Amino acid sequence: MELEPGSLASKDDSCRPALAIGELERALLRKDNLFHQVLEALPVAIYTTDRSGKITFYNRAAAELAGREPQIGVDEWCVTFRLFTPDGNPLPHEDCPMAVALKENRPIRNQEAIAQRPDGTLIPFLPFPTPLRDETGELIGAVNLLVDLSERRQAEEVRQHLSAIVESSFDAIVSKDLNGVIKSWNHGAERLFRYPASEAIGKPITMLIPADRQDEEVYLLDRIRNGERVESYETVRRRKDGSLVPVSLTISPVRDGAGRIVGASKIARDISAAKESEYRIRALMREVNHRVKNQYAVILSMIRETNKRSRNPDAFERDVRERIMALSASHDLLVSDDWRGANVFELLLAQLKPFGSEERISMSGPSVVLGPNAVQHLGIAFHELATNSAKYGVLAGVSGQIVVAWGIETAETKLFRLTWSETVHSKIEKVAHSGFGTVVLTRVAPQAMGGTGWIQHHPNGLVWTLEAPADLVETFPANSSVA
């Protein structure tokens, strides 16, 4: 079969538009498929709509953010289940940023919203709805990118929480760069160093370091540059008024997002009170050591003198035990008042309690607070007097009375004077029959208080008198009387 000239050409020409249209469609499909693959691969939520707002595409990240599978061609404006404004008010889908972008044919920016998933989870996000136009500028739809703000919000909450902790901390918290320039300054730093933040930020940290300790900053910065943390570094820093304050420093490296060390965070704690307590404890330990040694001497003297005058081991053991218990009673009074002292009335009651019959003793005098030394030695004297009375006098049940009186006499110097006067209705034996009592009353106790003591005997009793400088006896001046 012969073809007419030009007939093939004519047939080819008639097929050419159909072939061209098919290739164009396939090219567009390939382009659209590639476009969707790119969007699907992106780690951020993206979806598209037509000009009426119907969802035409969404990627996996958008479904994960929404917590649901949107329905193509059915869902409008948004892929999310429910929407709220940042302050928690419901936001209808037809009023969401994507709807506004399509209705007003313009991009919408900086309008945050909150998406609620079907399971109730709330996700703060930032949308970027942008209209899509054809080659003639006609609106054909829109694309929206949703940025999940959850991690950013959490980081912001953590930052605000840490900031609140720093600002409310009683300790001084300061940051500085690697040149030693102050970058932040909390209220604790203002209290400790007495510089307001406006006078500290931007200034060298060396303004807080005394002249003789300037080399510490070089040492500390070298350790920070090496990534080391410095803990419990005790030193001294200078306040704005020039006064010095002992501090304990904890210093940690500060790193940037890439992990590079860019500065240091410093916590300074005022340890003035701790240092003062440490000093007081050491002073107290020295004082306790001194007093214990004194007590050893007193106890050894008791043992020695008691041994000289004891008739047998049983009497020796009994007398030593009773005298040490009397010394212990005086110590209890001192301990209960932090070793500051005790008044005469309390001391008398403490020493007379083991003997009973306190109602047969009359006490009168001002409220003289005895110093620790006077409490111990006057307590021993009262014990010896009470022991003698319990053996031979009023406290043994003999009819009579004991009168104890004391006072401060003012002449050229203040003089403390105390008398123990015991009167019975029959002849009384000498005080402290063993002899140790006489030694205590006339020598040991008076001399320990820088004074003198003597005993006057009479047929129906005795009087013991003690006189000593008031400033060696009392802790505080007399101010009231007891009867």
Write down the pLDDT at residue 104: 95
**One-letter-per-residue 3-state SS of the chain:** CCCCCCHHHHHHHHHHHHHHHHHHHHHHHHHHHHHHHHHHHCCCEEEEEECCCEEEEECHHHHHHHCCCCCCCCCECCCCCEEECCCCCECCHHHCHHHHHHHHCCCCCCCCEEEECCCCCEEEEEECCEEEECCCCCEEEEEEEEEECHHHHHHHHHHHHHHHHHHHCCCEEEEEECCCEEEEECHHHHHHHCCCHHHHCCCEHHHHCCHHHCHHHHHHHHHHHCCCCEEEEEEEEECCCCCEEEEEEEEEEEECCCCCEEEEEEEEEECHHHHHHHHHHHHHHHHHHHHHHHHHHHHHHHHHHHHHHCCCHHHHHHHHHHHHHHHHHHHHHHHHCCCCCEEHHHHHHHHHHHHCCHHHEEEEEECCEECHHHHHHHHHHHHHHHHHHHHHCHHHCCCEEEEEEEEEEECCCEEEEEEEEEEECCCCCCCCCCCHHHHHHHHHHHHHCCCEEEEEEECCEEEEEEEEEHHHHEEECCCCEEC
User: How far is Cα 57 from Cα 429, in angstroms, rounded to an integer?
Assistant: 120
Interval 4-48: pLDDT, tens:
443 334 444 555 555 555 676 676 567 667 777 878 888 899 999
Write down the pLDDT at residue 317: 82
Write down the pLDDT at residue 458: 83
- In the beta sheet, which residues pair with residue 171? none
Write down the pLDDT at residue 424: 87
User: How far is Cα 364 from Cα 482, in angstroms, rounded to an integer?
Assistant: 6
Interval 145-167: pLDDT, tens:
999 998 888 777 777 777 777 77
Look up the CATH superfamily of 13-150: PAS domain (3.30.450.20)
Q: Are 309 and 330 in contact (CB under 8 A)?
A: no
User: How far is Cα 464 from Cα 442, in angstroms, rounded to an integer?
Assistant: 9
Mean pLDDT of the chain: 84
Query: Topology of domain 169-270, per CATH?
Result: Beta-Lactamase (3.30.450)
Q: State the pairing for strand pair 361-366/400-410.
A: parallel
**How far is Cα of residue 458 from the mean position of the Cα atoms in its chain?**
68
Q: Are 202 and 236 in contact (CB under 8 A)?
A: no
Interval 49-77: pLDDT, tens:
999 999 999 999 999 999 999 999 999 99
What lies within 8 Å, CB to CB, of 241 at 6+ separation is 194
What predicted TM-score, i.e. pTM, was given to this entire model?
0.47
What is the average pLDDT across 428-434?
49
Residue 1, pLDDT > 70, answer: no
What is the average pLDDT across 178-199?
93
For CA atoms 301, 302, 304, 308, the dihedral sign is: positive
Interval 300-337: pLDDT, tens:
777 777 777 677 888 788 888 888 888 888 888 887 87
Write down the pLDDT at residue 446: 93
- In the beta sheet, which residues pair with residue 270? 247
**How far is Cα of residue 10 from the mean position of the Cα atoms in its chain?**
98
The answer to whether 13-150 and 169-270 have equal CATH topology is: yes
Interval 100-123: pLDDT, tens:
999 999 999 999 999 999 999 999
User: How far is Cα 345 from Cα 357, in angstroms, rounded to an integer?
Assistant: 16
Domain boundaries, the chain: 13-150, 169-270, 276-482
Look up the CATH superfamily of 276-482: Histidine kinase-like ATPase, C-terminal domain (3.30.565.10)
What is the average pLDDT across 87-96?
93
